[in-house]
Every structure is written in C-alpha cells, then in structure tokens.
Chains A and B, each alone.
Chain A
Amino acid sequence: KQEVTQIPAALSVPEGENLVLNCSFTDSAIYNLQWFRQDPGKGLTSLLLIQSSQREQTSGRLNASLDKSSGRSTLYIAASQPGDSATYLCAVSSVTGNQFYFGTGTSLTVIP
C-alpha cells in the first residue's frame, strides 16, 4: 500500500522568505502527484498536478518538482506572503489502483 509522508508537519516563516515543502512516497509506480492547499474549515484547492512523465510544474510563485526514482516531491514557494498561510497536502495516485493517497499535510504560517 502506498504511504505518503510530509515533512515538516508545521512551518513558520517571516514574510518574503522562500520555502520548500516536502512530500515522500513509498511506491514509485505513480500515475500522477497533486499538491493542494486547504484553508481552515474549507475544502481542498488544487495547486499543481505533475504527471509521472514530468519533472516539474510551475504556477506563479509555486514550483513543484517530482523525482519518482527517489519517491520525492517538493513544493517551492517563492517570496512567501501572509495569504499563503494554510495547510498544504500532497496526494499520489498509483498505476496499480485508481485511488489517491494523501499525506497528513504541512501547516504553513507566514508572519507579516
């Protein structure tokens, strides 16, 4: 069974700092990997989707990379802002099944 781990569980940074969130998974036979943002009491908002054949995806200040062989993905946030404060979740889907497996998330606080 696929297991997804996110480190750190919580992160607090001053505004303007660049930061990296980590996601690791145990089964490298993935179909795709998706990063989400979740605000308190809200649903999940999709940030970036990386197909298994891709190495990275970019959207604005966000850049996500994927290294299937090592079972890792990183989400890079440039020039962080207080509005980036949220929980960030990664999810992977395996080629052997149809479901997505989620990590427990990283809670990010950006201090003004």
Chain B
Amino acid sequence: EAGVAQSPRYKIIEKRQSVAFWCNPISGHATLYWYQQILGQGPKLLIQFQNNGVVDDSQLPKDRFSAERLKGVDSTLKIQPAKLEDSAVYLCASSPGLAPREQFFGPGTRLTVL
C-alpha cells in the first residue's frame, strides 16, 4: 500500500513570496490533516478535511494560509505572502474513516523563508 505522498520535499523562498505544497493521501482515506511543525516543537494542526469538507481550521492563519482538497483526494496548502515565522516543516497525514483513527504521515515539506 502506497503511503502519503508530499511534494516538494524542500522549499526556500524570500519573505512575501508565495508557496504551495501538495499532498496525496493513502487511497480511500477520508480524513486529511495538514500540520505545521516548528523546530523543537510538536506538530500543530492547521486544517482537517473529511472528504471534501473542512472539519477544523481554527488554527489556520486565514489571512495568509489557504487549503483545499480536490474531489476528496489530493490537497494543496498555500501560503501567500510568506513570513519569516512560517519557516517550518509542513506535514500531511491521513486516516481512514470519519472518527479520529490511526494517522499516517507523509515525509513533510521543509520550508525556509529568508
């Protein structure tokens, strides 16, 4: 079974530029999560999708971050414009079913904002 795929693996941008991350969850997984992990901290949930709909985006900085999940499968997370404090690893995870179940993570995208 293929795991969660993410791209790119690394991205370096200047502040105020835009960036987008892509995630392809495990086939058939209804729930998809985007997390931000700052160095030395645990992952923080940015947004959670169940199929096409948003379940929780309470910690998503909506003035600069946006996310969508196309046809309940792939997802993109965008930052526009980026700030220095957005430097972090962005992790995508998926889980089967609609209740919180075991999560499976992708390799992450390391973003550096200069």
Q: List residues of chain A with CB under 8 Å of any chain B CB.
A: 4, 31-32, 34, 36, 41-46, 49, 89, 91, 93-94, 97-100, 102-105
Dominant secondary structure at the A interface: strand
A7 to chain B, nearest CB (A): 13
Tell whether B17 is near chain A: CB-to-CB under 8 Å.
Answer: no
CB closest residue in chain A, given B3: A43
Contact A98 B43 (CB under 8 A): no
Q: List residues of chain B with CB under 8 Å of any chain A CB.
A: 4, 6, 31, 33, 40-45, 48, 50, 55-56, 91, 93, 99-108, 110
- Residues of chain A contacted by B93 (CB below 8 angstroms): 44
Give 25 pairs: A residue, B residue, CB < 8 Å, sorted on A: A4-B42, A31-B99, A32-B100, A34-B102, A36-B105, A43-B6, A43-B106, A43-B108, A44-B43, A44-B103, A46-B102, A46-B104, A89-B42, A89-B43, A91-B43, A98-B55, A98-B100, A99-B33, A99-B45, A99-B100, A100-B45, A102-B43, A102-B44, A104-B41, A105-B42
CB closest residue in chain B, given A90: B42
- Residues of chain B contacted by A104 (CB below 8 angstroms): 40-42
Contact B107 A99 (CB under 8 A): no
